[in-house]
């Protein structure tokens, strides 16, 4: 009889490509991974790993068994989902992630609601950039992830994931208060061709979107500073060090010395949540999606109230 945890270890090595990667994904030591693999090799009577330089590779037998392990583990996940669905109770542990502004803008409300409504559910959350979060959901390291894409640049998703929208997140441009365009009702990105940009990290999806969008307008951006967190970007804008795109989600409070101006044409991010299709029937997944949607609706309503108040103040002035 094949041991499920040992198959899980083999599957992790196949997905991560190394013993250390598998150990990190499974939250165990590399020694524990090696011990599990040694037991599995004795169990099946075949060599499953071979040395490859300083690392290891799967043998032919290892690859064959890893393919079966992936299918077996998927069926186990489906069985657990069906049992949980039949019981109809929101229980157990749910591992979730979100990109930083969504973690700040959505998780406090959503996770607090889940704790209040479903005290037997343990939610474990973390910040993770979309590209890494997708891989973690596919691997089974996460149950659910909040992701984003942009109105003109969709986020590619692998097969086997279910997607549900949470909110459309409007984005403005953040300018130093003394900027030549700070008093405008709206700004086209092309008007900022000569400005220095504050953007996200090299290779991150949002950074690549900014380059793609500016270049489509004939602008080759001058990148002055990079920061993963929106509040860090806004602090740099407040110091007069450049301009940045500032989505509404997780933006407030805007620091003194920064003016946000709507972009024309309007710029929006689509915020959504994904999970594995084989876990679709889990009540905990469905409860988390409902809580995240409620949190997203509150963010959207707050944004409309802020925009209305700003328009009223301009009219009164």
Q: Where residue 49 sits, what CATH number does that domain have?
A: 1.10.10.10
When pLDDT is averaged across residues 59-84 and rounded to a whole number, the result is 82
- State the total domains in the chain: 3
Same domain, 71 and 201: no
Residue 262 shares a structural domain with residue 276: no
Average pLDDT over residues 83-108: 85
Measured CA to CA, the distance from residue 27 to residue 23 in angstroms comes to: 6
Maximum average pLDDT range among 14-28, 70-84, 270-284: 270-284
The Cα 186–Cα 13 span in angstroms is 52
Q: For residue 315, is it within any domain?
A: no
Q: Do the domain assignments include residue 314?
A: no
Q: Are residues 129 and 259 in the same domain?
A: no
Averaged over 13-18, what is the pLDDT?
A: 86
Position 311 in a domain: no
Whether 149 and 56 share a structural domain: no
> Between 147 and 70, whose confidence is greater?
147
Q: What is the pTM of this model?
A: 0.73
Which domain does 143 fall in, by range? 89-164+272-302
* 249/103 same-domain check: no
State whether 121 and 245 are in the same domain: no
In a domain, 43, yes or no: yes
177-224 pLDDT, tens per residue? 999 999 999 999 999 999 999 999 888 899 999 999 999 999 999 999
- Does 8 share its domain with 58? yes
Chain-centroid distance, C-alpha 136: 10
DSSP assignment of 103-114 = HHHTHHHHHHHH
Residue 94: Cβ-neighbour burial (10 angstroms; 0-12, 13-18, 19+)? buried
Q: What is the mean pLDDT of the chain?
A: 88
pLDDT cut 90: percent of the chain above it: 58
Residue 307 scores a pLDDT above 60: no
């Amino acid at each position: 009889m094949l041991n499920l945890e040992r198959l899980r270890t083999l599957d992790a090595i196949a997905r991560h490509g190394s013993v250390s990667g598998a150990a990190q994904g499974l939250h165990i030591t590399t020694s524990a991974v090696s011990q599990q693999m040694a037991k599995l090799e004795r169990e099946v009577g075949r060599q499953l790993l071979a040395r490859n330089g300083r690392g290891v590779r799967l043998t032919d037998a290892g690859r064959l068994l890893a393919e079966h392990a992936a299918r077996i583990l998927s069926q186990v996940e489906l069985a657990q989902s069906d049992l949980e669905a039949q019981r109809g109770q929101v229980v157990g542990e749910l591992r979730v992630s979100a990109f930083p502004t969504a973690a700040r803008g959505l998780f406090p409300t959503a996770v607090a609601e889940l704790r209040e409504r479903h005290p037997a559910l343990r939610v474990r959350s973390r910040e993770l950039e979309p590209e890494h979060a997708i891989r973690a959901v596919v691997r089974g390291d996460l149950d659910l992830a909040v992701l984003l894409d942009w109105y003109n640049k969709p986020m590619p998703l692998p097969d086997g994931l279910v997607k549900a929208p949470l909110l459309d997140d409007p984005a403005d441009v953040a300018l130093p208060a003394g900027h030549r365009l700070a008093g405008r009702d709206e700004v086209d990105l092309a008007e900022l061709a000569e400005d220095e940009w504050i953007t996200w990290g090299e290779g991150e999806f949002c950074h690549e979107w900014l380059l793609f969008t500016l270049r489509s307008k004939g602008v080759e951006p001058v990148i002055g500073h990079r920061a993963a967190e929106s509040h860090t970007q806004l602090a740099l804008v407040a110091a007069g060090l450049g301009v940045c795109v500032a989505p509404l989600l997780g933006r407030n409070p805007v620091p003194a010395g920064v003016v946000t101006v709507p972009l024309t044409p309007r710029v929006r991010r689509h915020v959504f949540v994904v999970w594995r299709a084989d876990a679709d029937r889990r009540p905990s997944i469905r409860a988390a999606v409902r809580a995240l949607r409620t949190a997203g609706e509150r963010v959207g309503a707050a944004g409309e109230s802020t925009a209305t108040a700003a328009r009223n103040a301009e009219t009164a002035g």
